Amino acid sequence: MNRKQKRLLLILGLVLLLGIACGIYFGTYYRAAPEAAALLQGSEQVKVTTLSRGWLLDGPGTEDALLFYPGGKVEATAYLPLLMRLAEDGVDCFLLKMPLNLAVFAPNAAASVQNAFSYAHWYVGGHSLGGAMAAVYAAKNPDKLDGLILLAAYATRPLSDRLGVLELHGSEDMVLNRKKLEAGKQYLPAAARCEELPGGNHAQFGHYGPQKGDGAATVSREEQTSWAADRIEALIQNK
């Protein structure tokens, strides 16, 4: 075997190893708890419709809608408990499914939904990496939105003062980068509301079990979900 053939075999081997590594990385993610995924069946108040980009949770409300970006490497349906509560209370929710469960690959995912549906008031939000990408969309499209909701997430570019902004996180969140959270506050409107839940952690904004590196919550997932929903609804009702 000559030097050229050896080099070709080495390159092919490296490509194969890279492909295997990528397959393992993208194939490993946090899966929604069965009881969360079961909510795709809807409820008496909320009809769940499958869309090309995700799902619409259509409740009794007709004017307000939330476009939601899931956290990085988290199955989208893990956020159904929170969004179902919002939909039942009058905020229709679009749960956006991301390529490879990473919103960084589709930061403008909300655009196609906004183009296809009509609501008087639009909000965008998300959890963790999903929240950061929702903030990017909000920064680019302030004229299309009324507000932004950040769950254990932060902004990385200036946001319009016309946007109502809500930033929520838990005191036991050990996944969230606190330095970046503080640095991101410079980009928020002066009227933005930032609040910490004593005892809350990172993973309990969704329903996918414990997350590596996270702190142990001292409040239940149901309590954290209800706390977040109450504050999101307050932002929307006070538009």
On the 0-12 / 13-18 / 19+ scale of CB atoms within 10 A, 3 is exposed
Rounded Cα distance, 60 and 45, in Å: 7
Residue whose entry in the numeric block shows the structure tokens 């194969």: 16
* pTM (two decimals): 0.89
Going along the chain from its start, the domains and CATH numbers come out as 31-237 (3.40.50.1820)
Contact 65, 39 (CB under 8 A): no
CA separation (Å) from 35 to 125, 180, 224, 232?
Answer: 23, 33, 17, 23
Q: Which of 13-17, 71-75, 115-119, 147-151 has the lowest mean pLDDT?
A: 13-17
53-91, pLDDT tens digit by residue?
A: 999 999 999 999 999 999 999 999 999 999 999 999 999
Q: Three-class SS of residue 64?
A: strand
Burial label, 86 (beta-carbon count in 10 A; 0-12, 13-18, 19+): buried
Mean pLDDT of 149-153: 98
